[in-house]
Chain A
């Protein structure tokens, strides 16, 4: 067993011309941890995340994901992470099963593995009735859960969730967070960005980005104490307004 740190970031910086989108951020995330990555729009969280998932090259600094360097081993990182974008990117014109088969396939799962995972997922999410239906005909909440499960198909070490609960109702959000807890309990690290401050309370640790820098990083409880407020929302407001 290597180090327990699944994500190690040191002074990671991304410049767009003269503009510092991400300004020397440093943090670590442990195995099985739920790490909340917060920040206002334009604070740089998406850019930071894109560097970690290997679709954007950092300008300087160091970063390792799942033990691989983002500068040199982006391909190995891709095999070991799962990713769910803001848009629950499944194919609407493919059935639930076809989506699972397709994404399992591009992650290099064998046919037998795909069959096994499909059966398991259909049972876990109670999808028996709709497995043969086009994803486009399903309600948003279902799509989102399926999308999350698809991101976990290849048993990644870390799963990156980019604002996974945008636009869904509170009940579905609740169910979704139960899935996140279950995933983390199984040892998968969850790296999640969100706008909802009540969701920040569910995370093990939270970082808050302001203007490309990480201004706060700790457990929700300690952050609230540190800023002398009752909710994460207040913490965020205090930071964001300077």
Chain B
């Protein structure tokens, strides 16, 4: 046991004396969570738009008022001619233009219909989409206000209620994703690099010649990273609660348990990578290309899995991060317990055991 303690102490010296690994361990999680939380967002706020009002009557004024008083839009300029729309978009100052037809109020009264054209800048398709949704919903509300006194014989009134994230805050979606990426990065990449480093420097050979058992060598390399990953997970959760007011609906204990499970899965992947790579650089490349990319792209963190082509949906099942994200969202946002999450937990547990077994086998054959 004394030997083992010395080994872990040495591991911490390595970590704390290397600025690069310190940055990845502690700078990165905080930077990422703040970046994703504040900068990268699907919500729109105060989008600058333009208005081309051919009618200039009471109704159009009322609609324009409604739109400009919403927190989503601010009216940047009034355009006079159709021909100027293109130029306004090209300058890039506005993201959308509302084009009211001539005689808007009169048409509304006479024909019971009037048209607004909503033109959006779709160089950024997501924003364009969101803008059209928001404007149409404002217009729908206005329309309902107009219709209150008239009794329509048949009405279908959709009522929307967004559960688990009623304000549709994107940070709620990013926190589980960022947590997954950070834990994967710290656990898999850092361990694989730290093990291959010993190989590269020749110290691994010296350790294997020593009476220390090979398994203990690996466990000793991994334990500090389990510890640091847990600290990282805690930092991320604390940041999301206090900075982004994210509620943790479910049990913190369960959150801890599944996080440790995912950390162990990632660590065993890291050991696996280290057995197949001879240099730190290779280990880093394999971790980035082989783990980080699939984790970001195929885990459902950014792109919904249900809208992927069938082949990718199948592949996504072998990505541990996919199951971890489901677990995190379940626990953090929905507040559900093991009763609903046993399947994902079992899958993750299975993966952890599988990778541990494979990496032990690989590690042994390498010694032959």
Q: Mark A97-113, 1 if CB is under 8 A from B, else 0.
A: 01001110111100000
Does A79 count as interface, using CB distance less than 8 angstroms? yes
- Residue pair B7, A78 in contact (C-beta under 8 Å): no
Q: Which residues of A contact B3 (CB under 8 A)?
A: 105-106, 108
- Residue pair A91, B202 in contact (C-beta under 8 Å): no
The segment from A30-38, A48-56, A194-202 found at the interface with B is A48-56
Report the interface size for chain B: residues with CB under 8 A from the other chain.
24
- Residue pair A106, B211 in contact (C-beta under 8 Å): yes
- Residue pair B6, A55 in contact (C-beta under 8 Å): no
Q: Most chain-A CB neighbours within 10 Å: which of B9, B205, B206, B208?
A: B206
The segment from A82-90, A125-133, A206-214, A233-241 found at the interface with B is A82-90
- Residue pair B203, A91 in contact (C-beta under 8 Å): yes
Q: Which residues of B contact A108 (CB under 8 A)?
A: 2-3, 211
- Residue pair B201, A89 in contact (C-beta under 8 Å): yes
Q: Identify B6's interface contact among A79, A86, A89, A105, CB under 8 A.
A: A105
Given A85-B202, A93-B18, A108-B3; A54-B209 close (CB under 8 Å): yes
- Residue pair B205, A85 in contact (C-beta under 8 Å): yes
Does B31 count as interface, using CB distance less than 8 angstroms? no
Nearest Cβ distance between residue B197 and chain A, in whole angstroms?
10
Bound complex: CA of A234 vs CA of B3, how far in Å? 47
**Which A residues from 54 to 101 make CB contacts under 8 A with B?**
54-57, 75, 78-79, 81, 83-87, 89-94, 98, 101
Nearest Cβ distance between residue A144 and chain B, in whole angstroms?
13
Nearest Cβ distance between residue B359 and chain A, in whole angstroms?
19
Q: Which residues of A contact B18 (CB under 8 A)?
A: 93
- Chain B binding surface SS class: helix
- Chain A binding surface SS class: loop
Does B368 count as interface, using CB distance less than 8 angstroms? yes
- Residue pair B10, A83 in contact (C-beta under 8 Å): no
Does B39 count as interface, using CB distance less than 8 angstroms? no
Q: Which residues of A contact B368 (CB under 8 A)?
A: 56-57
Nearest Cβ distance between residue A207 and chain B, in whole angstroms?
21
Nearest Cβ distance between residue B361 and chain A, in whole angstroms?
16
- Residue pair A107, B210 in contact (C-beta under 8 Å): yes
Nearest Cβ distance between residue B202 and chain A, in whole angstroms?
3
Bound complex: CA of A101 vs CA of B3, how far in Å? 10
Q: Which residues of A contact B302 (CB under 8 A)?
A: none
Q: Which residues of A contact B5 (CB under 8 A)?
A: 105
Q: Which residues of B contact A55 (CB under 8 A)?
A: 205, 208-209, 367
Bound complex: CA of A19 vs CA of B367, how far in Å? 18
Bound complex: CA of A97 vs CA of B318, how far in Å? 46
Q: Which residues of B contact A92 (CB under 8 A)?
A: 201
Nearest Cβ distance between residue A82 and chain B, in whole angstroms?
9
- Residue pair A87, B202 in contact (C-beta under 8 Å): yes
Given A57-B368, A89-B201, A91-B14; A105-B2 close (CB under 8 Å): yes
- Residue pair B209, A81 in contact (C-beta under 8 Å): yes
Given A56-B368, A87-B202; A106-B207 close (CB under 8 Å): yes
**Which B residues from 169 to 215 make CB contacts under 8 A with A?**
201-203, 205-212
Bound complex: CA of A190 vs CA of B331, how far in Å? 62
- Residue pair B211, A89 in contact (C-beta under 8 Å): no
Does B13 count as interface, using CB distance less than 8 angstroms? yes
Q: Which residues of B contact A101 (CB under 8 A)?
A: 6
Bound complex: CA of A87 vs CA of B200, how far in Å? 10
Bound complex: CA of A189 vs CA of B10, how far in Å? 30
- Residue pair B209, A94 in contact (C-beta under 8 Å): no
Does B17 count as interface, using CB distance less than 8 angstroms? yes
Nearest Cβ distance between residue B134 and chain A, in whole angstroms?
55
Bound complex: CA of A54 vs CA of B367, how far in Å? 10
Q: Which residues of A contact B367 (CB under 8 A)?
A: 55-56
Residue ID in chain A nearest B207 by CB atoms = A106
Q: Which residues of A contact B208 (CB under 8 A)?
A: 55
- Residue pair B211, A107 in contact (C-beta under 8 Å): yes
Q: Which residues of A contact B201 (CB under 8 A)?
A: 87, 89, 91-92
Given A102-B6, A106-B212; A83-B206 close (CB under 8 Å): yes
Nearest Cβ distance between residue B223 and chain A, in whole angstroms?
15
Residue ID in chain A nearest B14 by CB atoms = A93
- Residue pair B211, A79 in contact (C-beta under 8 Å): yes
Bound complex: CA of A93 vs CA of B207, how far in Å? 16
The contact sample of 18 A-B pairs, CB cut-off 8 A, is A54-B209, A55-B209, A56-B367, A75-B211, A81-B209, A83-B205, A83-B210, A87-B201, A87-B202, A89-B205, A90-B203, A91-B10, A91-B14, A92-B201, A93-B14, A105-B6, A106-B7, A108-B211
B residues adjacent to A (C-beta < 8 A): 2-3, 5-7, 9-10, 13-14, 17-18, 201-203, 205-212, 367-368
Q: Which 9 A-B pairs have the closest CB atoms?
A: A105-B6, A87-B202, A89-B202, A83-B209, A89-B203, A89-B206, A78-B211, A93-B17, A106-B212
A residues adjacent to B (C-beta < 8 A): 53-57, 75, 78-79, 81, 83-87, 89-94, 98, 101-103, 105-108, 134
